[in-house]
Structure 1
Amino acid sequence: MSSGSPLPPPDYQGGDYRDDKKRRLPGGHAGESSSCRLLLDGDLEYMLAELTVDEDIIPGGNSGDCRKDRKRKSNQDNASDDLLENMLSSLVIKDNAATSSASRRSGKDASVLVLDDSILDEGNSDCTTSTVCGASDSWSLRSEEFIERVKDLLLSHKGTGVEVFEVHFGLDSAHAAHLDKWVQFASESGAQCVIINLRKKGISSSGDLVVKSRYNFPLHCFVGGQRSSIRKLRLINCIFRPTLHCSGFSSLVRLYLNNVTIADSDVQNICSCCTILRILRLGRCDDLVNLMISHEILIYLDIFRCKKLVSIEIHATSLAFFEYDGHEVHIKYASTPKMRQIVTKFGDVNTSLPKDFNAMEWIKKVTLTFLSPSEEYRYIIYLKKFTALQFVNLFILPSWNNALAVTYLLKATPYLKRLRIEACSKEHHYVDRSHTNWPEGISLDKLRTITIGGFAAQAPLVALLACLMGVATHLKYLQIDPHHHLCKMLGKWVREDVGDKAARDDARNAALATIVPKLPPTVKLVIK
C-alpha cells in the first residue's frame, strides 16, 4: 500500500455514513449524543480520505487534463483547510443540538444502542426487573440495578443490525464479567462504533483508586475466525493493552482514548495492528512518557493533557493535522511531509516554529502560544523564510517582548494571508515604553485580514498593530473584539461571554481612539 495514497477501509461505500444518519430509527436513544458525533465523524473521515487521495492524484507530467487538474488543485488548496475547520466546528454545534433533544428508548432492532443511566428512569417493557429505578442512593445498588436492566435489554434484543454500541456508566474492574459480555455482544452484533465510557458522573477519574480499578478492555472479544467490523473505538476510564500481533482491530479507522491506562509500547502496537487508522486522539493518558507514532496513513493526531509525557516523535508520511495541548514537551517531526496544520499549546510557555518545519512542504497553518509573562528577551530570530505558511493563529499574553516575538515570526512568513491574535485575559505583564525598536525588513504584501480578540487597548498590542499597518500594504480587513476566546479543536476560536460589559465598552472606545487614526482608508474596520 502506498503511503501517499491511502485506500478506504474494507467494504467502504461512499454513501454509507449518510445512509447511517437516514437509518437512525425513531426509537433510537440519543443518550449523550456521542452516536450522533461518531456518525458525523464518519463524514470527517471520508472527507480526510478524499483530501489525501485528491492531493496524490494531481499529475505532475503531461496530460490532456493537466490544465483542469491544476485548476482543481488550486481551488482545493485554497478551500480544503477551511472546509475541514468548518466541518469540525459543525460537529460541536450539532453535538450540542442533539444533546438538548429529548432522549428516546432503544427499540429491539435499533441500529444505535445506548446503555446509560437513563434506562434506570424508564419503566418500559424491555426492563423486566421489579426494582424501582433510583429508589436507593447507594451507588452499588444503583450499579446492580443498571446491570440487571442492561441484561434484560440485551436478552430481548435480536443481536443483529447494531451499528453503534455505547455504554455510559461508572463501572470498573469489579464489573468486568458483565462488561465483557456486553463488549462480546457488540462484537457479535457487528457494531462499527463501540464506546465504553466508565467515568462516574461528578467524580474525577484521575485518582489512584480509580486508576487501580479500571476495567481492562477485552481484546479477545474482537479476535476470531471472522474479521471484526469495528471501525471506531472510544474508551474512557479503561485499560487498553493491545498486543503486537492483535488482529481484532485491523479495520479500525478512528481511535479515541481518554483517561486510559496505556503505555508507550501499547501505542506502538496500535500503530502496527491498526493499519488503516486515520484519526488518533490520546487524552489524559498519564502513563505515556516517550511517545513514538509511526504510521503510514494516519491523517489526524491529537494529544492532550498527558501528565508524564516527555517527548513525541512522529513518523507519519500522510499526517496532515497535528494538535498538542499540555505542558512543554519535545516534539520531533521526524517524517511528516504532508503536514497541513499544527496546533501547539504549551501551557504558559512560549512556543515557536519547529526546527524541522522546512521539511513540511504542505504546511499552511500554525497555532502558537506566547504566554510567558517574563520580560526577558526570549523571541527567536528566524534565519529562514517559511513561504508555505498562509494562516497564523497566536494566543499571547501582551508584553513588549511578546509583541517583538510576533514581529520576528511574521518577518519569517512573508506570504501570510490571515493573522489572528488572541490577547490573554491575565493582568498586563509589561512596563510602559515610549519607543520600541521593531525589526526592519518586514514585508507582508499578501496579508489581507487581521483579527484581534481580547482587545483591551493593551499598549504593546496597540503598538504592534501600528507596526503592522505600516508593513501590510494590501491589508483589507481588521476586526477587533474585546471578548476573550478559547482555542478549540484544530485551532478554532470560540467566544467566551465572560467578563465585565463596561470594560468591553471601554475597550471599544479605546479602539476607536487608538486604532482608527493609524488605519489606512483602504482597510475596513469592524469592532465587535
Structure 2
Amino acid sequence: MQNIWRHVCYFLPLKDAARATCVSRAFRSSWRCHPNLTFSKRKITGDYNSRIDHFLANHSGTGVKTLSLLFYGPYSANTSYCLDGWLQIAVAPGIEELSLTLFSDSDQLLDKAKYNFPCSLLSDGRGNSIRELKLVGCAFRPTVGIGCTRSLTNLSLCFVHITGDELGFLLSKSLALERLDLNSCSEIASLKIPSLLQRLSYLKVSQCSMLQVIESKAPNISSFHFVGDQQVQLFLGESSQVKEIFISHSCALHYARAMLPSTTPNLETLDIFSTGEMVSTPMLPSKFLHLKTITISGWIFSTTYNLFSLVSFLDASPCLETFNLHTRIGSQNHDLIFEDPSHLGRIPGHCYDNLRRVKITRFFSTKLLVELTCHILENAPSLECLTLDITDGGLKCSDKRIRKCYMSKATLVEAPKALEAIQTHIAGKVLSTTKLNILEPCSRCNAINI
C-alpha cells in the first residue's frame, strides 16, 4: 500500500503533495519521498525562504530526481549555512536535475558571487547521476575533489565565477556532455574544450567579458552561438562539423566572411548580428559550399559601410536558398533613391540558382538597398518569394497578440518613400514566377500613432 501512495504522490505538484500530508500518515510518509522539488516565487515575501526550510526539513532526501531552487536575499552570515543545508538534503545519489538561481535583494541576478557552491556535494557518488546542472549567480570552483560527473549532459552557468582552468577540469570529467551554455562568466579568459567530449553538439558563449580564445577539439559540435562585445580567437578544428552558427559582436560581418568559410566548411545556417561594421564586407574567393540560410541583422552600418557589399555572402554561397536581411540604417547612410531609374545600372554578378526566398525587413528608400534588391532579382532565376517589409518588423495587431502595432516615427515618415521606391525601381523587375510581398504599416495603427 505504501508503494501505491508514493506512486500517487510522484505525479502530484509539490504544493499539492505537501498539502496531502494533512490527510493521513501514509501520505505524510509519501511526501517525504517526493522526487521533484521546485521552489520559485516572483515576488519576495518574508516567509518564502522559511517555507523552503520547512519543506526540506520534512523531506527525507530519498528519491529526489529534480531540485530547482530560486533563492532570494537578503544575505547574511547564515545564508551559506542555510543553502548548504538545503542542498545537503536534496542532492543525494539518484538526483538527475539540479538548478540553483540566486537573486539579490532587488530581485536581480547576482553579478558578484556571494555564495560558493559546495563542490563536495558532487563527490562520493552524488554527482554520478546528475544529467542537468544549472547555476546562476554564485561561485563554482571545481577541483580534484569534485568527483565524477559521468552522466552530465547539460551544463549551464550564468553569472558564475569560475576560471577557464576550473571549467576545463570539470569538462574533463563530463564525457557525456551534450550541451554547454556559458553566460556572463567574467573570469574565463580562455575556453578550451577537450577532444574527449565526443557527444558535445551545442556550444553557446555569451557576454564573457574577459574571454579571448575559444579552442574546441570536440569533434561533433553542430551548433555554435557566440555573443560578445569583442571578437575572440575561434578555433573549432579543421574537421569541424558545425552546421549552425549564431554570432554577434562588432564587425561580425567582416569576421564571418573572412574566417568562417575555412573554419566551418560544413556550415548550413548562418545568423549574424553585427553591432557595428567599420569597413565594408570584403569580396573574397572563399566559399560557403553548403550554406543554405543566411540571416543578417543588427546595427551594422557606419558612414563608410557599403550596403551593396553584402552581395559578397550571396556570391560565396552557391547552395543558398534563403536570405534574410533586417536593416538598421542611420540618417548618415540614408542616400535617398533618385527619380531617374536609368541610373540603376546592371551590376555583373553570380547566378544564384538555388535562391528561393528573400526577405528584407525595415526596407528603406536608400540607393544601395534598392540596388542590392534589384541585383538579387536579376541573378536569382528560381526566386519564389520576395518580401519587402517597410515596417519595423515587430508584432502586428493582426497577430492578435498585441492591441496595436508599434512603429517608430522615423519608419512611419519613411514608409511612403520606401513604397514609392519599390513600385518605381523594383516591382517591374519581379518575374511572373516570383511572388512579391510588401508589408506596410496598417492604417488603423498608423492613424493612432500619427
**What TM-score bracket applies, with the shorter chain setting the length?**
0.7 to 0.9
Write the letter of the residue equivalent to 1:311. V
> Aligned Cα RMSD in Å?
3.4
1:427/1:229 CA distance change after superposition, 3 Å: farther
Q: Secondary structure at the match of 1:475?
A: coil
Report the AA paired with residue 272 of structure 1. S
- Distance in 2 between residues matched to 1:255 and 1:392, nearest whole Å: 28
Farther off after superposition, 431-440 or 315-324: 431-440
Distance 1:460 1:398, change over 3 A: farther
- The 8 Å contact of residues 257 and 281 in structure 2, kept in 1 or not, is answered as no
Aligned counterparts of 2:151 and 2:424: Cα–Cα separation in 1: 60
Following TM superposition, by how much is the alpha carbon of 1:340 offset from its aligned partner in structure 2, in angstroms? 0.7
Is the partner of 1:343 in helix, strand or coil? strand
Tell me what 1:280 maps to. 180
CA deviations on 1:120-158 (whole Å, 9 max, x unpaired) are: 7xxxxxxxxxxxxx4xxxxxxx3xx44432221112224
Q: What is the identity, as a one-letter code, of the residue corresponding to 1:363?
A: L
Query: In structure 2, what is the Cα distance between the partners aligned to 1:436 and 1:330?
Result: 39
Q: 1:119 to 1:24 in 2, by over 3 A?
A: farther
Structure 2 residue 364 is matched with structure 1 residue 456: yes
Look at both structures and tell me which one has the larger radius of gyration over its CA atoms: 2
Which deviates more from structure 2 when the two are superposed, residues 495-504 or residues 509-518? 495-504
Alignment of 1:103-114 (within 5 A): 110-114=34-38
Asked whether the 8 Å contact 2:257–2:282 carries over to 1, the reply is no
Aligned to 2:314: 410
Is 1:228 the counterpart of 2:128? The answer is yes
| C-alpha contact 2:248 2:274 (8 A) present in aligned 1 | no
| Offset, 1:431 | 4.4
CA 1:200–1:386 in structure 2 vs 1: closer, same or farther (change >3 Å)?
Answer: same
Residues 484, 262 of structure 1: CA spacing in aligned structure 2 closer, same or farther, 3 A cutoff? farther
Which among 214, 218, 223 is matched to residue 321 of structure 1?
A: 223
- Which residue of 2 is the match for residue 303 of structure 1? 205
Alpha-carbon distance between aligned partners in 2 of 1:512 and 1:24, rounded to the nearest angstrom: 63
Indicate whether 1:150 and 2:150 are aligned: no
- Highest relative contact order (Cα 8 Å, sep 6+), 1 or 2? 1
Alignment correspondent of 1:259? 159
1:166 is matched with: 68
Deviations 1:101-134 (A, max 9, x none): xxxxx965544312234797xxxxxxxxxxxxx4
Question: Displacement of 1:523 after TM fit?
Answer: 0.5
String of CA shifts for 1:444-482, please: whole Å, max 9, x gaps: 111011011222333322221011111111111112223
Matched, 1:341 2:251: no
TM-score, normalised by the number of residues in structure 1: 0.67
SS across alignment from 2:100: strand
Q: 1:245 to 1:430 in 2, by over 3 A?
A: farther
> How far has the Cα of 1:222 moved from its partner?
1.5
Q: Map 1:38-437 onto structure 2 (within 5 A).
A: 110-117=34-41, 134=45, 142=46, 145-171=47-73, 174=77, 175-188=79-92, 190-200=94-104, 202-205=106-109, 211=112, 213-225=113-125, 228-244=128-144, 246-294=146-194, 295-335=197-237, 337-347=240-250, 350-351=253-254, 352-353=256-257, 355=259, 357-358=261-262, 360-372=264-276, 374=278, 377-395=279-297, 397=300, 401-424=305-328, 426-427=330-331, 429-431=333-335
Task: Indicate if the aligned counterparts of 2:295 and 2:325 stay in contact, CA closer than 8 A.
Answer: yes
Task: State the 1:387 CA deviation.
Answer: 1.4
Amino acid at match of 2:101: N
Instruction: Tell me whether 1:499 sits opposite 2:407 in the alignment.
Output: yes
**Deviation (angstroms), 1:407:** 0.7
Distance 2:15 2:427 in 1: 54
Question: Using the alignment, how far apart are the partners of 2:32 and 2:250 within structure 1?
Answer: 48
Structure 1 unmatched runs, 5+ = 1-21, 31-105, 121-133, 135-141, 487-494
Structure 2 residues not aligned, in runs of 5+: 1-7, 17-29, 395-401, 440-450
* Number of residue pairs the alignment of both structures matches: 396
Find the aligned partners of 2:380 and 2:190 in 1 and give their Cα distance: 42
Deviation (angstroms), 1:384: 2.2
Tell me the CA shift for residue 347 of structure 1.
4.1
TM-score by structure 2 length? 0.77
Partner residue, 1:468: 376
Partners of 1:326 and 1:436 in 2: how far apart? 38
How big is the shift at 1:405?
Answer: 2.4
For the residues of structure 2 that align with 1:505 and 1:441, how far apart are their CA atoms?
29
CA distance in 2, matches of 1:512, 1:28: 60
| Alignment-mate amino acid for residue 183 of structure 1 | L
1:430 shift after superposition: 4.9
Q: 1:525 to 1:500 in 2, by over 3 A?
A: same
Query: What is residue 419 of structure 2 aligned with on the other side?
Result: 509
Whether contact under 8 Å (1:117, 1:169) holds in the other structure is no
- What is the aligned-residue identity percentage? 22
Distance in 1 of aligned mates of 2:15 and 2:331:
47
